């Protein structure tokens, strides 16, 4: 690698930087074609949900017309009447936002330590973290509820937030990413300059791992946003998260899908916003890499 990199690049004269994208392949029509097919497949359920939500209760879910009907706003206002939508949305934003911040920060911190710092027991602890992922979590609701009842937390948002403040998945992910994405030399240089470990983490590591952190943020946010069973069990139904509130739309021996899917569609909007905000961070990561060089 040394031999490769010491050569003088003729394209970029020293001192002048390439635009990051200039290095990437120019996509041709085939690439766009494949990606469009992927996106269509991925987005279909959303469009379909919107379609069903735009008709009245009599629309037959097996045979929805492909053009939206005019009933979406009616269904949306029915949703607002039926469940405490805004309150639930607010609760979900608090829960998912807190959980995401905590997971991203604590995972980066621990991931950095595991990837770049030497300490006794590092390997064993890392293996332990990964191993805990392998235990199925479905049975956890019983002991978790006992714990929350003991703490006196059941019924509070804290009971939904607390069990999700850290994830082994996050630590594993950040560790794997940091191993290669943050060069050792960069850390050493910072240390030589007299940076404390914390400053090194903050000023060297964090900027370099922004894409991975943003990705972890997206995953964590969505996971937390879609969580259903645990909030159902531990929260008071009058003060629910959005998924628990939406479930109430399915009461009755038959389900009014235009109502249910209107609620579902409305509840997806905040997630898409998070997508856009954090998605930019992921893209920004490339530029970061270019500057870092």
Given the complex with another protein, which of 1 and 66 has the nearer CB atom?
1
The correct pick among 104, 113, 259, 266 for binding another protein (CB under 8 A) is 113
Asked if 165 is part of the footprint of another protein (rule: CB under 8 A), the reply reads: yes
**Residue 197 interacting with another protein (CB under 8 A):** yes
Instruction: For the CB of residue 198, give the shortest distance to another protein in the complex, in Å.
Output: 7
Is 124 near another protein (CB under 8 A)? no
Binding flag, residue 21, another protein (CB under 8 A): yes
87 binds another protein (CB under 8 A): no
Contact indicator for 241, 166 with CB cutoff of 8 Å: no
* Measured CA distances, 167 to 99, 122, 146 (Å): 10, 17, 20
Token couple for 86: 């805004």
Query: Looking at 96, 219, 241, 259, which residue binds another protein (CB under 8 A)?
Result: 219
Which residues, 6+ apart, have CB-to-CB distance to 75 below 8 Å?
53, 54, 56, 258, 259, 262
**Closest CB 67 distance from another protein, rounded Å:** 18
Question: Which lies closer to another protein via its Cβ, residue 88 or residue 215?
Answer: 215
**Smallest gap from residue 231 Cβ to another protein (A):** 11
CB 25 to another protein: min, Å: 4
Distance CA 291, CA 293 (A): 5
Task: Tally Cβ neighbours within 10 Å of residue 278.
Answer: 21
Span 258-287, contacts to another protein by CB under 8 A = 260-261, 264, 268, 271-272, 275-276, 279-280, 282-283, 285-286
What ranges in the chain are assigned the alpha helix state H? 2-6, 20-23, 29-53, 72-82, 85-116, 122-132, 141-151, 157-161, 168-181, 184-192, 197-200, 206-208, 210-226, 229-234, 242-247, 257-292
Residues 6+ apart with CB under 8 A from 208: 178, 181, 182, 186, 288, 292
Least distance (Å) between residue 174 CB and another protein: 10
Q: Which of 76, 204, 262, 266 binds another protein (CB under 8 A)?
A: 204
CB-CB neighbours of 269 under 10 Å: 9
- For residues 290 and 17, the answer to whether their CB atoms sit within 8 Å is yes
Least distance in angstroms from the C-beta of 286 to another protein: 5
- State the number of binding residues for another protein (CB under 8 A): 158
Q: Contact, 53 vs 269, CB < 8 A?
A: no
Give yes or no for residue 24 binding another protein (CB under 8 A): yes
Cβ at position 207, least distance to another protein in Å? 6
Closer to another protein at the Cβ: 85 or 114?
114
Indicate whether 140 belongs to the interface with another protein (CB under 8 A).
yes
The single residue among 29, 67, 70, 118 that binds another protein, judged by CB under 8 A, is 118
Q: Is residue 37 near another protein by the rule CB under 8 A?
A: no
Q: Does 77 participate in binding another protein (rule CB under 8 A)?
A: no
């Amino acid at each position: 690698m040394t031999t490769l990199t010491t050569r003088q690049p003729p394209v970029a004269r020293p001192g002048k930087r390439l635009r990051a994208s200039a290095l990437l392949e120019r996509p041709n029509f085939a690439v766009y074609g494949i990606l469009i097919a992927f996106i269509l497949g991925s987005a279909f359920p959303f469009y379909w949900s919107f379609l069903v939500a735009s008709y009245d209760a009599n629309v037959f879910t097996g045979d929805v017309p492909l053009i939206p009907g005019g009933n979406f706003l009616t269904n949306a206002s029915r949703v607002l009447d039926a469940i405490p939508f805004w309150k639930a949305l607010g609760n979900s934003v608090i829960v998912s936002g807190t959980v995401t911040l905590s997971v991203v920060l604590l995972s980066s911190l621990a991931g950095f330590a595991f990837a770049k710092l030497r300490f006794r027991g590092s390997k064993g602890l890392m293996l332990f973290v990964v191993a805990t992922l392998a235990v199925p979590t479905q049975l956890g609701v019983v002991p978790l509820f006992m714990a929350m009842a003991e703490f006196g937390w059941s019924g509070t948002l804290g009971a939904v937030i607390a069990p999700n403040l850290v994830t082994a998945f996050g630590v594993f992910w950040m560790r794997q990413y940091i191993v290669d994405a943050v060069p050792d030399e960069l850390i050493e240089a910072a240390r030589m300059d007299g940076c404390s470990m914390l400053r090194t983490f903050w000023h060297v590591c964090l900027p370099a791992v922004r894409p991975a952190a943003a990705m972890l943020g997206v995953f964590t946010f969505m996971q937390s946003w879609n969580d259903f069973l645990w909030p159902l069990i531990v929260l008071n139904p009058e003060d629910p998260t959005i998924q628990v509130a939406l479930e109430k739309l399915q009461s009755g021996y038959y389900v009014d899908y235009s109502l249910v899917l209107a609620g579902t569609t409305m509840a997806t909007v905040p997630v898409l916003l998070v997508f856009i905000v954090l998605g930019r961070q992921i893209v920004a990561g490339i530029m970061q890499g270019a500057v870092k060089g």
